[in-house]
Chains A and B, each alone.
Chain A
């Protein structure tokens, strides 16, 4: 009975007693949720247009952030470095299209998936070669990202909002909103979804596959750059950052691999869920449950709704 009380009742009593702490936890969950959503979006873009699960998305986040910081350290002004880092992602998009996707067109998905493994290790090697393997500080100040904290008294207690977190949440939300409209209501967005549905039909209406692939990889690169800046500002820029991309996996399973709204909702569920879980239930299990909670949630989802919240219904014709 005691255990049941601790699991089922006590956390909720605690939430009610200290609503300010609940609010604080929700806010932190929201911020990391938005960032997860942003990273998941990078996967969704590429998966939608080329049917490839891009294993390299995580290293693209690191590589983009490293390029930015590395250029700044070599004396390039911060904003110029930002533009150049974007240009590097564009270059990467062209290279991926030309060297990986074009020769492998019409190959089974698993082959393309393995090719993105290759790309991952290539980018790790390249990043270490050019910028060195040691962790770097994100150039938060030089990019005019706000620092500091605002403390508000809400619901009877102090709630702290880090300015950086506020900026991260706003910027990520704007980018997600732009991409969502772009892909649902413009020519290129339609072309992208068209390519995802049928290559030959897309070709017949004059859509160039090569061009679309470059666009989505570039968009995924930009998303990676923003995610790299925001995440790098919180925990430094190092190769270990790429594991946050693995956090995008449960997000994708929740939201469905092909759905942009799914990536957003899934990101929020994972972000908020793991912070709440860690804060209220974590102590019962000795803490640290936010490292695996998301995967367990994803596992439960796989059992009951394998296509995710917003994924297309899987109907198999026999």
Chain B
């Protein structure tokens, strides 16, 4: 695993950089002048108290929100505005805080939906589900089965996901994001509401995704123990501002972070 202090780490290893991003909703400033970067292959955690702007940050990165000011550079391309499906096309996948699945569809169909962008057969082939459309369907079905095996959920393949327990829903959602074979995977509280065992499973999957597929991951998480174990570098937000950035060790001993979490004024 890479670490922030690696001497050979060069600037061109940066996958995504956020520069001076601010986000306003009317008079409310959700983010002000936040800058940080995400390097290729690392697990980057974004932490902070409730309402610190963590999810807003993810929403800016994958195009749900347009930053009011600042720039986001992904894979060397800078932009002010990008629509969510364009972000997805560029290789950014994500999961959501409160699980956003296609509830009436099966696990299989949910994960297949994650491969929408990889499938190219045109409307008319698809209308008759023949020729290229059928071949494509078979190829992608195979990779979806691999993901299902990887996440150890073959038994719920055909279950409508709305009927699954919460922990498994989170896993299916991860599967759907993985199906996109993303360059950058954004995980919004992947372990929220899980019990200890489920958290351990999820942590293992996240690490394996990072190590086996080399996927860069940015995650928001409240469980500080998990964050310290998983992440290479941590950025800390409070009231929409960045208050610390560094390795888990550095961040843990930063007095501003301790204050933010314990609420002690300077």
Contact = CB atoms under 8 A, between A and B. Distances in A.
A binds B: yes
Interface of A: 178, 181-182, 185-191, 193-194, 196-198, 200-208, 215, 258, 312
B96 interface: yes
A186 B119 CA distance: 10
A187 B126 contact: yes
A208 B85 contact: yes
Closest A-B pairs by Cβ, 8 of them: A206-B88, A201-B100, A203-B84, A197-B102, A206-B117, A186-B126, A187-B119, A208-B85
Contact of A205 (B103, B123, B180): B180
A201 B96 contact: yes
Interface of A is mostly: helix
22 contacts: A178-B128, A186-B129, A186-B133, A187-B137, A190-B113, A193-B102, A193-B105, A193-B109, A194-B102, A197-B103, A198-B101, A198-B102, A205-B88, A205-B93, A205-B176, A205-B180, A206-B85, A206-B89, A207-B85, A207-B113, A208-B85, A215-B123
Contacts of A185: 129, 137
A185 B179 CA distance: 17
A187 B133 CA distance: 9
B64 to A, nearest CB: 7
Interface of B: 62, 64, 84-85, 88-89, 93-94, 96, 100-105, 109, 112-117, 119, 121, 123, 126-129, 133, 136-137, 176-177, 179-180
A186 B137 contact: yes
Nearest to A197: B102
Contact of B85 (A194, A198, A203): A203
Contacts of B114: 205
A204 B113 contact: no
Given A204-B177, A205-B179, 14 more contacts: A178-B128, A182-B127, A190-B116, A197-B105, A201-B101, A201-B176, A205-B114, A205-B116, A205-B176, A205-B180, A206-B84, A206-B180, A258-B104, A312-B104
Contacts of B177: 204-205
A121 B126 CA distance: 34
Most A CB atoms within 10 A — which of B100, B137, B177, B180? B100
Nearest to B115: A187
